[in-house]
Amino acid sequence: MKPVSFPLGEPTSHLVGVTPVLPYVVQPYKVSPYVLIHITPSGKDVASAAFLFQRKGTLSQCYPIVSLNGFWGTAVIDTLCVSPVPPSLGKGVQVAYNRSLEGGSSCGALLLNENLKMQRTCCSLYTRAARMSVQTIRSVFSVDTGYRLTDDQMVNHFPNHYELTRKDLMIKNIKRYRKDLEKEASPLAEKDESGKYLYLDFVPVTFMLPADYNLFVEEFRKSPSSTWIMKPCGKAQGKGIFLINKLSQIKKWSRDSRTFVAANSGKEAYVISLYIDNPLLIGGKKFDLRLYVLMTSYRPLKCYMYKLGFCRFCTVKYTPSTSELDNMFVHLTNVAIQKHGDDYNHVHGGKWTVSNLRLYLESTRGRDVTNHLFDQIHWIVVQSLKAVAPVMNNDKHCFECYGYDIIIDDRLKPWLIEVNASPSLTSSTANDRILKYNLINDTLNIVTPNGEIPDCRWNRSLPKEALGHYQVLYDEEQALSESTDLRSCSGQSLGSKGSRSGSVRPPFPATWK
Amino acid sequence: MMDESTELSVSITQIVQRLKGTHLHSQLEKQAKECMHKPEIKLETLKDDVRRLLKASGWERKLQNAVYRELHILPPPGNPRAPPEHTKEPLAYMRKAQLSWEKRILKSLNSMCTELGIPLARKRPVLEQKELTNKWNEMGTDEPDLSKFRPVYAPKDFLEVLIGLRNLNNNRSEDLTVRSNWGLIQVSLNIRDIPQMRETYPELGLTYGQLGIDDHTHVPPDLFESEHILIGKKVVSEQDSAAAQQYSRQGCPTGLRAQLWTLILNTTDDPEVITHYEQLKARVIHHGLLVDNLIYKDVKLTASNDDYYFVFEDYLYQVLLCFSRDTAVLEHFNNNSATPPKSHIQSKSGSEPCAVVYPPNGVIPFHGFSMYVAPLCFLYNEPSKLYSVFREMYIRYFFRLHSISSHPSGIVSLCLQFERLLQTHLPQLFYHLREIGAQPLRIAFKWIVRAFSGYLSTDQLLLLWDRILGYGSLELVAVLAAAVFAFRAENLMEVTSLASAEAVLADLSTLKVMPLLQIFLFATSV
């Protein structure tokens, strides 16, 4: 099946509100935000029917579209695994799912017939499904389970994705990556006079608490007027985050908080990062960037950048004054937090597209600086992925769509804040719905191209047209072959690219453009 | 009738008159005096030497740009004996209609004032002044109760007035052709057809490079664009208004647009511009006006809910509140068919009431007014600069979109132009829509009144406004409206009600402006 195409310049959004003729009941907007995915499902055989369903649901947190008469309710689907039914069971598709609800999670498996109507729940699959959640995904690949994923099964997480998506581990991996490069005397690890990395200084100074407490105190004393942000390692959506600007606050916190004690036993650790107190403001408001990055393989590294990211704006004016430290709405841009602010607007949800950002920056600051900023953003994404590549379990059944959170400061330097393994795919506004629809659609078109049954052995190199709104961010194989070509014709060494002195632009292969 | 040379000399006198006493005038004098001390000035060739030096130091260019600006806003030459209102609008029935429309708006404003018991203007207490000063940059966080306020009028109300326009000199039964009865606008004005427009807009032709088209083709990559950017940089460095305007006809590159537009509009960043803005700000802080509430309400209803513009909410308050206090805006009524609304106040000294212009700038905002400013926020992040560009855009172009006149860029002409284009080139579509009760103008009017702001995506809107500035005319707004109908004609032929026709045209944010304009103007068979 080809991606749905529209005539020149004609929008998908134009079709919102126009109900396509579907062979199944279309659920109302809130329950199934991705109705538009199923415009051409007629005349499909079992395999593509399975695929159709998969396009709707494989990614975490997306509401499946198939009418199950409210069975799914508003639960968030964490993981979904789809495979064809063994011939002995007749035509259809089996689906194992794991969903998280407010205050708990459940899992199960279903058998759907060829019209994607639910036939029955399927207990034999239950145990497998129980293992599949973003937290427990690792066990799916464990040898002890006695279960192996078949070639036509794809899973939307890497077994140990937390190496990148847990705040403390990401920092650890990046620090190690820098050291490794330094040891190799790589030009990438070059430092300026003050000892800062020229190309690898892209995360705010961060320490693990309580482990690095002494290091933190040392750093804090160097600049006592700075503000720091405390984040629990394993939580998302802005939960448990607070700001401090005095050492006494952190001492008080460690006394008061039992978690600190628990953290000593390794259960709940915190990271403390230098707070970016000079963020770029637009219209006087603070914002951060949410970008989507699709990873299909860590070794060789192959990743895609989604062009339709967005900026999330604070609804409350930004004041760097410390009196506002308690007002989280000023500092955190997470939609989950901002939604509780009084000013939250349900039409745009505080979201501004990256293309708006580009237009604004190019108009007010010029084309070259803007291009440089976006080059740098791409650069830090690639470096963060390279940093975790050696430790990642690169299972061929896996792909993952990450939500990158980036803050830009007023000197137009981007900072990597964190990476999410299960970026929210629910939609808060109409435009958001179109974006998420496109994101899921394009992701699945890359992971399972041509609408065929997934095949994890397939080597994924797609023509530009098949990428949708994705662009290749980095393709290690291609980059290597290009640089070999380069070397053979000009005799240049690979490293010399990075050591050009005086060049502001970090060394970068041309593959993502 | 005046001949050309007298016309020219009248214009020259007018311009000289207007430039006398300006800041530029005194600066030029100062510069000329300073020249005297230079050794290269010789007494025998004094005049030429001074001139040469002024030219070399760029002051001549500044003078040229100022003259060029005056030419833009100069009222059309009329018979010197004709009363001024005839120069502003030659057609009596237009003047009459505008007058009664103004009366209606003012009445509605006055009745709101009485109903709510809110004065038109009041001095703010000191505490309130302080508060406003503190939150000047975050007025959007304020949530005043605006439920009692309603926009004085919406584009819809204005459309009804235009539909009602009649030229009483015309005996309708014999003079109107079948064609003119089709549409909603029932007056006849001189409108250009496509062959005439092809002559007016040669740079939009198929053989010219266009930003908005040729920067997106892949073969040859970026050839036109990089060349065009190079020329653009040169235009900016030359600081030549006329060249910038000509350049803008093929589109401004995003990175140069802000500079090019200030050049075309000749809005300098002199310190006096900033002082002027600060003065206006002080006026806002000292006195509150009833129209402030209308401005708040309008921003809340439009820009604050807009995917593109919500981030600039606070800038919009600042600019619009200052705008309402700016008496320099009154100048534009010299070539506007409208007259500034007056209100009566009790003067301090005597009991005799005297008439003052209200609001001070003479412009009563209507629903959607803030969308004239919103797109400019993408270009200028300094409020004073944003302000001066907006004000110049308003007194050159935007005022024509909500005053009744026969001017070719006026709203009546644009509506008529739009209807004529559809009737001539898509008669079947026009007929079909009319039959199902979906007169095209009823759908397109809101686009035209806002010059498409808030309907197109911002990058596309700016490409359209490039051309408005480039040609000094709003005519292309009407052409684009017709081109949008042409582009969606196939879907529109299928609809059977006004609501579904509106649905087909509800989202214009994915349209590409320049291909639409180019195809409609140059690839339509005539």
Q: Would residue B257 count as lying in a domain?
A: no
Q: Which two tokens stand for residue B313?
A: 């909410």
pLDDT in tens, B207-265: 888 888 877 665 565 678 888 999 999 999 999 999 999 999 999 999 999 999 999 99
Q: In chain A, which among 326-355 make CB contacts under 8 A with chain B?
A: 342-343, 345, 347-348, 350-353, 355
> Both A397 and A498 in a single domain?
yes
Q: Would residue B500 count as lying in a domain?
A: yes
Look at residues A303, A251, A293 and name the one whose alpha carbon lies nearest to residue A272: A251
Among candidates A10, A342, A345 on the partner chain, residue whose Cβ is nearest the Cβ of B305: A345
Among candidates A14, A283, A352 on the partner chain, residue whose Cβ is nearest the Cβ of B313: A283
> Both B425 and B525 in a single domain?
yes
pLDDT band at B177 (very low <50, low <70, confident <90, very high): low
Chain position carrying tokens 């006493």:
B21
Residue A70: is its pLDDT beyond 90? no
Instruction: Choose the final residue of a domain: A239, A254, A275.
Output: A275
> Both A105 and A195 in a single domain?
no
Which span out of A397-411, A441-455, B40-54, B380-394 was modeled with the highest average pLDDT? B380-394
Q: Which residue of A has its CA nearest to B378?
A: A360
pLDDT band at A33 (very low <50, low <70, confident <90, very high): very low
What pLDDT sits at residue B399? 96
> Both A195 and A304 in a single domain?
yes
> Both A388 and A503 in a single domain?
yes
What pLDDT sits at residue B491? 94
Question: Within an 8 Å CB–CB cutoff, is residue B510 touching chain A?
Answer: yes
Q: Would residue B263 count as lying in a domain?
A: no
Look at residues B470, B467, B462, B504 and name the one whose alpha carbon lies nearest to residue B487: B504
Chain position carrying tokens 């400061």:
A409
Among candidates B141, B305, B458 on the partner chain, residue whose Cβ is nearest the Cβ of A316: B141
Distance from CA of A347 to the nearest CA of B (A): 6
> Regarding predicted confidence, which is higher, B134 or A81?
B134
What pLDDT sits at residue B258? 97
The pLDDT mean for chain B works out to 89
Cβ-based contacts under 8 A for chains A and B: 89
Residues of B whose CB is below 8 A from A317: 137-138, 140-141, 314
Ordered alpha helix ranges (H), A223-334: 247-256, 258-264, 328-331
Question: Within an 8 Å CB–CB cutoff, is residue B299 touching chain A?
Answer: no
Domain total for chain B? 3
Determine the residue among B310, B379, B466, B520 to mutate to test chain A binding: the one whose Cβ has the most chain A Cβ atoms within 10 Å: B310
When pLDDT is averaged across residues B297-310 and rounded to a whole number, the result is 91
Q: Which of A271-285, A484-498, B93-107, B505-519 has the lowest mean pLDDT?
A: A484-498
Residue B67: is its pLDDT beyond 80? yes
Q: Would residue B222 count as lying in a domain?
A: no
Question: Within an 8 Å CB–CB cutoff, is residue B208 touching chain A?
Answer: no
- Residue A448: C-alpha distances to residues A78, A153, A296, A393, B18 (Å): 19, 10, 11, 21, 70
The domain that holds B196 is classified in CATH as 1.10.472.80
Interface confidence, given as ipTM, is 0.91
Domain total for chain A? 3
Cβ pair B311:A313 closer than 8 A: yes
Q: Would residue B80 count as lying in a domain?
A: no
Instruction: Choose the final residue of a domain: B394, B421, B440.
Output: B394
Q: Which residue of B has its CA nearest to A371?
A: B255
pLDDT in tens, A107-129: 444 444 444 444 444 433 333 44
Distance from CA of B501 to the nearest CA of A (A): 12
Residue B461: is its pLDDT beyond 50? yes
Residues of A whose CB is below 8 A from B515: 9
Q: Which of B64-68, B173-177, B439-443, B462-466 has the lowest mean pLDDT?
A: B173-177
Residue A5: is its pLDDT beyond 50? no
What pLDDT sits at residue B362? 93
Among candidates A17, A18, A345 on the partner chain, residue whose Cβ is nearest the Cβ of B310: A345
End-to-end CA distance of chain A: 27
Q: Is the dihedral of CA B161, B163, B164, B169 positive or negative?
A: positive
> Both B140 and B274 in a single domain?
yes
- Give the domain extent around B61: 4-74
Cβ pair A347:B257 closer than 8 A: no
Residue A387: is its pLDDT beyond 50? yes
Residues of A whose CB is below 8 A from B381: 364
Residue A40: is its pLDDT beyond 50? no
When pLDDT is averaged across residues B383-396 and rounded to a whole number, the result is 95
> Both A189 and A291 in a single domain?
yes
Residue B523: is its pLDDT beyond 80? yes
The Cα–Cα gap between A388 and A165 comes to 10
Residue A11: is its pLDDT beyond 50? no
Residues of B whose CB is below 8 A from A288: none
Residue B200: is its pLDDT beyond 90? yes
Question: Within an 8 Å CB–CB cutoff, is residue A299 touching chain B?
Answer: no
> Both A76 and A188 in a single domain?
no
Q: Would residue A333 count as lying in a domain?
A: yes
> Both A27 and A173 in a single domain?
no
Cβ pair A14:B257 closer than 8 A: no
> Both B41 and B9 in a single domain?
yes
Strand A118-121 relative to strand A206-209: parallel, antiparallel, unpaired?
A: unpaired
Q: Would residue A453 count as lying in a domain?
A: no
Instruction: Choose the final residue of a domain: A253, A275, A297.
Output: A275
Q: Would residue B242 count as lying in a domain?
A: no
Q: Which of A91-100, A184-193, B505-514 has the lowest mean pLDDT?
A: A91-100
The pLDDT mean for chain A works out to 66
Look at residues A112, A161, A165, A167 and name the one whose alpha carbon lies nearest to residue A140: A161
The domain that holds A317 is classified in CATH as 3.30.470.20
Cβ pair A352:B254 closer than 8 A: no
> Both A324 and A248 in a single domain?
no
pLDDT band at B172 (very low <50, low <70, confident <90, very high): low
Question: Within an 8 Å CB–CB cutoff, is residue B380 touching chain A?
Answer: yes
> Both A106 and A189 in a single domain?
no
> Both B195 and B178 in a single domain?
yes
What pLDDT sits at residue A30? 24
Q: Which residues contact B85 (CB under 8 A, 6 or more apart)?
A: B95
Look at residues A242, A271, A289 and name the one whose alpha carbon lies nearest to residue A423: A289
Q: Nearest 5 degrees, angle CA B15-CA B17-CA B18?
A: 65
> Both A473 and A347 in a single domain?
yes
Among candidates A14, A370, A431 on the partner chain, residue whose Cβ is nearest the Cβ of B307: A431
Residues of B whose CB is below 8 A from A345: 304-305, 310
> Both B275 and B388 in a single domain?
yes
User: Under DSSP, is residue B294 helix (H, G, I), strand (E, B) or coil?
Assistant: helix
pLDDT band at A346 (very low <50, low <70, confident <90, very high): low
pLDDT in tens, A283-338: 888 899 999 999 989 999 999 999 999 999 876 555 555 455 555 555 566 555 55
Cβ pair B315:A283 closer than 8 A: yes
Q: Which two tokens stand for residue A410?
A: 């007023």
> Both B294 and B355 in a single domain?
yes
**H/E/C letters for each residue in B217-281?**
CCCCCCHHHHHHHHHHHHHHHHCCHHHHHHHHCCCCCHHHHHHHHHHHHCCCCCHHHHHHHHHHH
Among candidates A9, A350, A367 on the partner chain, residue whose Cβ is nearest the Cβ of B511: A9
> Both B136 and B277 in a single domain?
yes
What pLDDT sits at residue B6? 79
What pLDDT sits at residue B239? 92
When pLDDT is averaged across residues B369-388 and rounded to a whole number, the result is 95
Q: Which residues contact B487 (CB under 8 A, 6 or more apart)?
A: A9, B511, B516
Q: Which residue of B has its CA nearest to A348?
A: B307
Helical (H) or strand (E) element with A358: helix A354-365
Distance from CA of B504 to the nearest CA of A (A): 7
Distance from CA of A318 to the nearest CA of B (A): 9
* Burial grade of B41 (CB within 10 A; 0-12, 13-18, 19 or more): middle
Task: Tell me the backbone φ, ψ of residue A97, rounded to 5 degrees.
Answer: -140, 160
> Both B134 and B277 in a single domain?
yes
Q: Which of A45-49, A412-416, B78-82, B497-501 has the lowest mean pLDDT?
A: A45-49
Instruction: Choose the final residue of a domain: A105, A123, A148.
Output: A148
Q: Which residue of B has its CA nearest to A330?
A: B141
Residues of B whose CB is below 8 A from A362: 254-255
pLDDT in tens, B326-340: 999 998 888 888 889
Cβ pair B507:A13 closer than 8 A: yes
What pLDDT sits at residue B7? 77
Q: Would residue B164 count as lying in a domain?
A: yes
Residue A175: is its pLDDT beyond 50? yes
User: Under DSSP, is residue B288 helix (H, G, I), strand (E, B) or coil?
Assistant: strand
What pLDDT sits at residue B14? 85
For residue A327, what is the DSSP state?
-
Question: Within an 8 Å CB–CB cutoff, is residue B500 touching chain A?
Answer: no
> Both A302 and A238 in a single domain?
no
> Both A379 and A315 in a single domain?
yes
Q: Would residue A82 count as lying in a domain?
A: yes
pLDDT band at A75 (very low <50, low <70, confident <90, very high): very low
What pLDDT sits at residue B33? 85
> Both B127 and B179 in a single domain?
no
Residue A27: is its pLDDT beyond 90? no
The domain that holds A217 is classified in CATH as 3.30.1490.20
Whether residue B271 is preceded by a cis peptide bond, meaning omega within 30 degrees of 0, is no
- Give the domain extent around A300: 163-202+283-423+469-512
pLDDT band at A88 (very low <50, low <70, confident <90, very high): low
Percent of chain A with pLDDT over 70: 50
Tell me which amino acid residue A280 is: L
Residues of B whose CB is below 8 A from A469: none
> Both B438 and B458 in a single domain?
yes
When pLDDT is averaged across residues A171-196 and rounded to a whole number, the result is 90
User: Under DSSP, is residue A271 helix (H, G, I), strand (E, B) or coil?
Assistant: strand
The Cα–Cα gap between B467 and B482 comes to 17
Residues of A whose CB is below 8 A from B523: none
Distance from CA of A411 to the nearest CA of B (A): 15
Q: Would residue A430 count as lying in a domain?
A: no
What pLDDT sits at residue A150? 64
Which span out of A28-32, A34-38, B99-103, B181-185 was modeled with the highest average pLDDT? B99-103
The Cα–Cα gap between B239 and B372 comes to 26
> Regarding predicted confidence, which is higher, A454 or A414?
A414
pLDDT band at A404 (very low <50, low <70, confident <90, very high): very high
> Both B369 and B504 in a single domain?
no
User: Under DSSP, is residue B374 helix (H, G, I), strand (E, B) or coil?
Assistant: helix
Q: Which of A30-34, A262-266, B7-11, B45-49 has the lowest mean pLDDT?
A: A30-34
Distance from CA of B506 to the nearest CA of A (A): 8
Q: Would residue B349 count as lying in a domain?
A: yes
pLDDT band at A502 (very low <50, low <70, confident <90, very high): very low
What pLDDT sits at residue A485? 64
Distance from CA of A15 to the nearest CA of B (A): 9
- Which residue(s) pair with A107 in the sheet? A98
